[in-house]
């Protein structure tokens, strides 16, 4: 019984994941873009949450993605709350799919999926094959789990448990929560509940509290995803917990009328047992969203009070690029693009400092923050470049044309600084993975070169912001020092290797870091030269 149940659960979980992967691949893997564009307000956030969850067949997956986007600064807390609410509605689709009894056709469905995967070269057919195969595997897993659970009927302890759950709804909630925490998929536990109910092994009175508990248990995935993330991301995860706890509390209070409502639907619509649970699940989540949607501000306030602390806000979207200005005032559009480039440059400064801290302290939070800055830089570079390309279609004076070209080049230089910053993070990761030890002298040398590079970038950015020619000249001198330092440190490193003080792996890390710092210095000079050529 245990082997059949566990094996069936494994096939079921694989089926859901494989079907979700197929749906996601066929959508072009644009989930971040979808969430970013559709979450202009909480209501659109709910719709985006529903859409993405239906696409990947996992509310946990959507919630984890949302926590990641909040952590990265793509979404605000209020937007995230809307997406999380939508994810809870979207996940009910799985229970409705399960409610359609096609278990007898699971094997031929898997066969069709296999043919599409293995005998067709077109990726679209392959993705559709993934969806079909996953769909069949889902039902095969359910059938196996159902067969495995049949002997439970004869167990007196199981019968006593179901009676206890009927008499004590809180016990049902706890069991549903714990089981989902263990399995890490509310779709799986609700599928199991549908199977138990279909076999008359549990009555509706006991099944509904378990269903509520399944919704609470699914929040564990978001909690785990939020460990070690930003304050805003942890607040988003806590919102998910509060949302489902409040919903469960409301439905426990109205449990008796809710049960009568499901019985009424069953009579009117002639619902099969599995579909009764699906309707109960759908009603629970939709009603929960309808009630709590109006209190998104209150939810955000509560989690802000519960999880204190200032959060680092990295805004990925451009703040100053106005499309209307392009048509009416090209000179103002150039100033707006410059303001955005200065924001981008400030991110490169902050990211570089996080990279230094990561090298010295090896705290993963610094690496994550540096990579967030790098992603923000890339995003801003794309938006600024697109804006400036549109601007080039309008008549510009010779001076405006020169500044336009300078801004395009400067944006690209700052983007390259971000790339080198990312390279340094990857080198420190390599150092940690391979347990590479740098000598104290090498560490001191790196610190010195880092400080010089950061100072050079800071002065280049300030020169750009103020149009300061003297500072720009100073950057040229500092970059010359960086070049000389890079050559000197490389020679000293070779001497240390010859003396056996460090090995080849340490050499890879050391030489590649100073090489990236030297290239950052070159890009800082390009920014300074752009100021001098104005």
Task: Express each pLDDT in 405-432 by its tens digit.
Answer: 888 999 999 999 999 999 999 999 998 8
Supply the pLDDT for residue 166.
67
Supply the pLDDT for residue 425.
93
Supply the pLDDT for residue 264.
92
Supply the pLDDT for residue 246.
93
Cα–Cα distance between 276 and 256 in angstroms, integer?
A: 15
Q: Residues in the chain with pLDDT < 70?
A: 23-24, 26-39, 56-58, 60-61, 68, 71-74, 101-103, 149-150, 152-156, 158-163, 166, 184, 225, 228-230, 309-314, 316, 504, 534
pTM of the entire predicted model: 0.66
Supply the pLDDT for residue 217.
85
441 Cβ contact partners less than 8 Å away, ≥ 6 residues apart:
492, 496
DSSP-derived letter for residue 192 is H
Supply the pLDDT for residue 249.
94
Which backbone phi and psi does 252 adopt, to 5 degrees? -70, -35
**What sign results for the dihedral spanned by CA atoms 98, 102, 107, 108?**
negative
Judged by DSSP in three states, 456 sits in helix
Torsion of CA 458, 460, 463, 464, to 10 degrees: -110
Supply the pLDDT for residue 413.
92
Could you tell me which of 316, 335, 523, 529 has the C-alpha nearest to residue 412?
523
8 Å CB contact between 416 and 522:
no
Supply the pLDDT for residue 72.
62
């Amino acid at each position: 019984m245990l082997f059949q149940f566990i094996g069936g659960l494994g096939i079921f979980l694989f089926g859901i994941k494989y079907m979700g992967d197929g749906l996601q691949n066929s959508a072009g893997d644009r989930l971040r873009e979808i969430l970013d564009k559709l979450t202009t307000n909480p209501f659109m956030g709910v719709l985006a949450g529903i859409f993405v969850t239906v696409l990947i067949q996992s509310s946990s997956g959507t919630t984890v993605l949302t926590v990641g986007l909040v952590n990265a600064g793509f979404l605000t807390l209020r937007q995230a709350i809307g997406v999380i609410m939508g994810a809870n509605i979207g996940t009910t689709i799985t229970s409705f799919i399960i409610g359609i009894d096609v278990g007898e056709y699971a094997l031929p469905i898997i066969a069709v999926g296999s043919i599409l995967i293995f005998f067709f070269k077109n990726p679209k057919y392959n993705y559709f094959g993934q969806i079909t195969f996953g769909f069949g595997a889902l039902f095969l897993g359910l059938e196996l789990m159902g067969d495995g659970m049949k002997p439970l009927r004869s167990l007196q302890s199981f019968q006593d448990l179901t009676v206890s759950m009927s008499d004590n709804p809180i016990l049902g909630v706890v069991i549903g929560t714990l089981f989902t925490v263990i399995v890490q998929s509310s779709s799986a536990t609700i599928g199991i509940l549908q199977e138990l109910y279909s076999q008359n092994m549990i009555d509706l009175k006991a099944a509904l509290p378990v269903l509520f508990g399944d919704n609470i248990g699914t929040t564990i995935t978001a909690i785990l995803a939020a460990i070690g993330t930003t304050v805003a991301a942890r607040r988003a995860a806590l919102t998910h917990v509060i949302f489902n706890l409040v919903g469960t509390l409301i439905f426990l209070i109205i449990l008796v009328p809710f049960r009568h409502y499901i019985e009424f639907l069953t009579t009117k619509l002639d619902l099969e047992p599995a579909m009764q649970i699906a309707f109960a699940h759908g009603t629970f989540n939709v009603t929960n969203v309808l009630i709590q949607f109006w209190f998104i501000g209150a939810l955000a306030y509560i989690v802000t009070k519960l999880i204190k602390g200032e959060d680092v806000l990295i805004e990925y979207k451009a703040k100053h690029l106005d499309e209307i200005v392009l048509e009416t005032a090209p000179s103002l559009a150039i100033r707006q693009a410059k303001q955005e480039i200065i924001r981008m440059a400030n991110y490169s400064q902050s990211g570089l400092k996080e990279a230094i801290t990561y090298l010295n302290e090896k705290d993963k939070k610094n690496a994550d923050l540096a990579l967030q800055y790098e992603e923000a830089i890339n995003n801003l570079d794309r938006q600024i470049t697109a804006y400036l390309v549109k601007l080039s279609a309008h008549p510009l004076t010779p001076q405006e044309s020169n500044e336009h070209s300078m801004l395009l080049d400067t944006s690209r230089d700052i983007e390259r600084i971000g790339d080198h910053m990312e390279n340094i993070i990857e080198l420190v990761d390599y150092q940690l993975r391979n347990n590479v030890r740098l000598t104290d002298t090498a560490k001191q040398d790196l610190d010195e070169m880092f400080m010089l590079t950061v100072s050079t970038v800071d002065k280049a950015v300030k020169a750009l912001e103020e149009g300061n020619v003297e500072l720009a000249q100073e950057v040229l001198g500092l970059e010359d020092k960086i070049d000389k330092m890079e050559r000197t440190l490389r020679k000293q490193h070779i001497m240390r290797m010859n003396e056996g003080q460090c090995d080849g792996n340490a050499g890879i890390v050391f030489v590649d870091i100073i090489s990236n710092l030297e290239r950052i210095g070159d890009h800082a000079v390009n920014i300074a030269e752009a100021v001098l050529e104005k």
